[in-house]
Structure 1
Amino acid sequence: MLKHLMKTLLVASSLVMAATTLPHAADITLRATANSNENDEDYDGLVVFKNYIENASNGAIAVELFIGTQLCATGEECLQGVGDGSIDIYISTSGGAAGLFPYIQVLDLPYLMSDDRVAETVLEGDFTRKLRDMALEDSNNTIRLMTIGNTGGWRNYANTRRTVKTPADLNGLKMRTVPADLPQKITTAVGAAPTPIPWPELFTSLQTGVVEGTANGITDIMSMKFPDAGLKYLTLDGHSYMGAFWWMSNNRFLELSEDQRKIVIDGFAALQQATFASPKRKEIGAYADFAKAGGEVYVPTDAEKAEFKAAVEPVFEWFKANVTRGQEVFDLFGAAVSEAQKTVDAERAADIN
């Protein structure tokens, strides 16, 4: 009898313990998608975001990740999903969102930011909030810009033919671009021949000579194995920062309580820091692998870089005159970069002494 009673008590105790340790179902589930893969900086950011949100909310908010094209396949389609509320969170490049918000391509304008510290200071500040206001206005308050991170470091010129030190060395090279006006204007300005090629076709296009060069970060170059397609010469001109724009359904955001919105905002701050750091870490191995594959890296002098910047000056005027709200955003961006450069310079001076 005693043995049976003890067994009953033990079973009951174990059931109580199990009931108290089982995870509670989340009150809210946020569906987040990235049209990339698990080796990408976007995925690194989402993993940090998911971990932060679920822990900080004590499990009340869950984040479900959809990596690839399960929910949507193009920037236009994904942003439509954000706008109508079928997708809660989406990350795009500037090109992926340029159809709705063409002025965000200001980050693609070359040689305006000097380094990571300046870029990160700009994107952590009010410039991003001003872009948020503009995007809300232009989407009828449906699409909210939460933060801007990084997706691949900086764009650099790489090609299959020769070392590039100045714009003269790019003359006539068939350079891959996306089918958009701004990157084609930039490519033409430095003397190359813009050739629109879809990203999945770039390896074969390099291999067959349809294009002879591209403008990408080293992590993308190596993850796509472009040296196997003949890509050999890389010039670290760092002409544009590869910004990642993180969007959220504004209605979904506003449905959250104030405390929940704070958690989400802090989650995106953690995500931003993760995407700032990820390319810096990954490019170490990527550069080593590029060298092992026979790649050659050239770093332009200050004078050579000045030649590149002078060559693209007309593109700035084109942007201001031809891109919707271009003048407004160019001025906002220029002011933010100038202020960030002063801040970083002052911090460096303080730390040197």
Structure 2
Amino acid sequence: MTMFKTFGATLAAALVAGQAFAADVTIRLAHLNPEDPFQSHSGTMAAVFKSLVESNSNGEIEVQLFPNGQLGKDNEVIEQVRTGLVESTISSAGGIAQHYNLVGVFDIPFAFPNIGVASRVISKDSSFGQKFIADLESKTDLKVLGMIDSGGFFAFTNSKKPIESVADMEGLRIRTMTLPTHEAIVSSLGGQPTPLPWAEVYTALQTGVADGQMNPVPIIAFAKFDEVQKYLSITNHVITPYIWSMNADFYNGLSDEHRTLVNWAAEVATESGRAMSRVIEASDRGLPALAAKMEVNVVPPAEQAKFAEAAQPAVRALIEDQYGAEGIEMLDALLASIEEEKGAF
């Protein structure tokens, strides 16, 4: 009870501090990542959204930003949005999973052949995106404003050795999000999944609670994991969504004019975030910077196929076991959308 009161007091203080210059409408937008728009896609999205909404609303809407997990853990902030305490958040799949578990279908390993296909499928406008979002919205109190990849394909880092084959995963304690599908991936490859919330990851790697972790290159870079990890192995084994949501009642209560503004500003901001992820990956803020400090290896296609052979059946079986026919139907819809978008390249 004491911890709950402390958290509540901290949240209340943060929210009140941000209300010094309240406009007619206030949108509090939270996310886990740095505020600097050049460090993370969610920082980019938040900054662009704030700029567009405030400059085009004639001062009628103020957007208050709460980056770096200021309002709590991902799943806690989503709960705040669902209850209306906070208006909006940009969330990882790990946070969303605790409110809508079918987000786990994205974790079927090696399903996406390249980032072009992933960008087209992981979108609120794709055939799968529309189906997925409609189901998510029907089961939560959320309105989805955007869906974007989490910064690129996941890679493994660790402090022990390069991961060049499935055998190299044996016994490695790999931090995962609190996603059963991610735990299944690591287990199927011979590793020991260590699910931890984001706020605890750096310390866990630093102290040896976990040997390694898996994330996209931009996240590895801004989290400064190169300070506590020696090896970076490019496996491109999975790519997950970040989902931008808003309290549905708040969204529906906006005037038609304000709702239109929020919609197009969120769309532009999402595409800006998508582009920033690619820039970070390629720039001295991403892989080149990490390569200067870490030992980097790329797992070749022949070895990737062996990873896929070990991990895909395990994840599909978990989805069927935990989510039943509904989960398999959603997974098959995702795979069909991937096949459909392959034709564009």
Provide the TM-score with structure 1 as the length reference: 0.82
The equivalent residue for 1:334 is 335
Corresponding residue number in structure 1 for 2:116: 117
Point out where structure 1 has 5 or more consecutive residues left out of the alignment: 1-23, 346-353
- Between 258-267 and 94-103, report the one with greater CA deviation: 258-267
The question of whether the paired residues in 1 share the 8 Å contact of 2:109 and 2:312 is answered with no
Partner of 1:34: 31
The residue that corresponds to 2:231 in the other structure is 233
Decide whether the 8 Å contact of 1:132 with 1:146 is kept in 2.
no
| Alpha-carbon distance change, 123 to 180 in structure 1, aligned in 2, over 3 angstroms | closer
Measured in 2, the distance between the counterparts of 1:205 and 1:83 equals: 30
Q: Kindly report which structure 2 residues correspond to 1:83-98, keeping only aligned pairs within 5 A, or say none.
A: 83-98=82-97
Alpha-carbon shift at residue 37 of structure 1 (Å): 2.2
Deviates more, 1:175-184 or 1:93-102: 175-184
Q: Distance in 1 between matches of 2:87 and 2:97?
A: 19
Q: Is the 8 A contact 1:131 1:145 kept in 2?
A: no
- Identify the range of structure 1 (237-246 vs 54-63) with the bigger mean alpha-carbon deviation: 54-63
Residue equivalent to 1:126: 127
User: In the TM superposition, what are the counterparts of 1:160-179 in structure 2 within 5 Å?
Assistant: 160-179=159-178
Higher-Rg structure is 1
Secondary structure (helix, strand or coil) at the match of 1:145 reads strand
The residue that corresponds to 2:320 in the other structure is 320
Q: Which residue of 2 aligns with 1:274?
A: 272
- The alignment covers a number of residue pairs equal to 316
* Per-residue deviation, residues 56-114 of structure 1 (Å, max 9, x unmatched): 334333322122344x3123322222222221111111110111100012223321112
Aligned to 1:246: 244
Q: How far 1:241 sits from its partner (Å)?
A: 1.6
Give the distance between the partners of 1:69 and 1:292, measured in 2 at CA.
29
Aligned match of 2:73:
74
Give, in whole Å, the separation in 2 of the partners of 1:122 and 1:59: 35
SS in 2 for 1:239: coil
Shift of 1:55: 2.9
5+ residue gaps, structure 2: 1-20
Rounded to whole Å, the distance in 1 between the matches of 2:80 and 2:200 is 26
Letter of the 2:322 counterpart: N
CA distance in 2, matches of 1:221, 1:31: 27
Q: Equivalents in 1 of 2:127, 2:262: separation in Å? A: 18
Aligned-partner SS, 2:246: strand
8 Å CA contact retained: 2:151, 2:274: no
Paired AA for residue 245 in structure 1? I
CA contact (8 A) 2:75 2:95 kept: yes
Match of 2:17 in 1: none
SS at match of 1:333: helix
Q: Following TM superposition, by how much is the alpha carbon of 1:278 offset from its aligned partner in structure 2, in angstroms?
A: 1.5
Displacement of 1:298 in angstroms is 1.6
Tell me, yes or no, if the aligned pair for 1:320 and 1:330 is still in contact at 8 Å.
no
Q: Relative to structure 1, is the Cα distance of residues 333 and 65 closer, same or farther in structure 2, using a 3 angstrom cutoff?
A: same
- Following the alignment from structure 2 to structure 1, what is the Cα–Cα distance between the partners of residues 247 and 203? 37
2: CA distance between counterparts of 1:301 and 1:152?
21
Cα-to-partner distance string for 1:10-58 (whole Å, 9 max, x where unaligned):
xxxxxxxxxxxxxx98432222111332143211111111112223334
Specify whether residues 248 and 25 from structure 1 end up closer, same or farther in structure 2 by C-alpha distance, changes over 3 A only.
closer
Per the TM alignment, residue 236 of structure 1 is displaced from its structure 2 partner at its CA by 1.2
Change (3 A) 1:305 1:79: same
Q: Distance in 1 between matches of 2:178 and 2:249?
A: 32
Q: Which one-letter code corresponds to 2:27 in the other structure?
A: L
- Residue 171 of structure 2 aligns to a residue whose secondary structure is coil
Native 8 Å contact 1:174 1:192 kept in 2: yes
Partner of 1:152, secondary structure, is coil
Kindly provide the CA deviation profile for residues 260-307 of structure 1, in whole angstroms up to 9, marking residues without a partner as x.
Answer: 3222111111121111111222232132222222x1222222211111
Partners in 1 of 2:178 and 2:69 — Cα distance? 21
8 A contact 1:219–1:279 mirrored in 2: yes
Say if 1:41 and 1:150, in contact at 8 Å, map to a contact too.
no
Residues 172-201 of structure 1: CA distance to partner in whole angstroms, max 9, x if unpaired? 222122344221111011111212344344
| Deviation (angstroms), 1:207 | 3.6
